[in-house]
Chain A
């Protein structure tokens, strides 16, 4: 199993809603990541979890709240988002945080209305 599974694939939410993005991997990877990708731009790192602890937070607004319930799961809780937060949200995992390939999920296409 070399898959990173993200749900949902598409999400439309209002600016007052609370929603969550989910990510799952069963490769035994100990590092998991959230990236944000806007159209025609490269993926930009948001958060890194290493051994279920938040390792990197790239100055992401508090309306994005990550959670790592266990070594296979990574969530991104969304609250009071803005239309400019509309993007493709990508989850990735890797064996470790250093010098290892990251495997990406297919992403969640988020639209904030």
Chain B
């Protein structure tokens, strides 16, 4: 049973527009969420994170929104750039009392930003 779900395998966006990547989770013990970007044949690169005590975290062009009641988070990239084209993984972890902090990854969404 998948605990972290990214239901869109791919997303195509025009350069300069907003990219919205979505992620749903089922485990209510998750209290820390992260987004990673991955290029082929490389390890994931950390982008941005959010704790469950917040509903929004912003870092430059990247903003993550968390809706705990819906068990949903999203990553907004504004404006999108061709260099953002990569696979984006949503990951979640549970802290004390949960799964000891290991990251559970979604299957990823491949973002293509067209010039």
From DSSP, what is the main secondary structure of chain B's interface residues? Answer: loop
Is there an interface contact between A33 and B102, defined as CB atoms closer than 8 Å?
yes
**Chain A interfacial residues counted at CB < 8 A:** 29
Asked if A97 and B106 make an inter-chain contact with CB atoms under 8 angstroms apart, the answer reads: no
B46 x A103 contact (CB < 8 A): yes
With the chains together, A34 CA to B60 CA distance in Å? 30
Contacts of A43 in B (CB 8 A): 44, 89, 103, 105
A29 at the interface (CB under 8 A from B): no
- 9-residue interface stretch from A12-20, A68-76, A77-85, A104-112: A104-112
Other-chain residue from A102, A105, A106, A107 in contact with B46 (beta carbon distance below 8 A) = A102
State which size class the interface on B falls in.
20 to 34
Determine whether A32 belongs to the interface, using a CB cutoff of 8 Å to chain B.
no
Residues of A within 8 A of B107 (CB): 41-42
B83 at the binding interface (Cβ < 8 Å): no
Q: How far is the CA of A97 from the CA of B32 in the complex (A)?
A: 12
The CA of A103 and the CA of B108, in the complex, are separated in Å by: 17
Do the beta carbons of B100 and A105 come within 8 Å of each other? no
Instruction: Provide the residues of chain B in CB contact with A21, threshold 8 Å.
Output: none
Chain B residues, Cβ within 8 Å of A31: 101
Q: A55-B100, A97-B100, A99-B32 are in contact. Are A107 and B106 (CB under 8 A)?
A: no
Shortest beta-carbon contacts, A-B, top 6: A104-B43, A42-B105, A97-B101, A98-B95, A98-B101, A99-B32
Seed contacts A42-B108, A43-B44, A88-B41; 8 additional CB < 8 Å A-B pairs: A6-B43, A42-B105, A43-B89, A45-B104, A48-B102, A58-B102, A102-B103, A104-B44
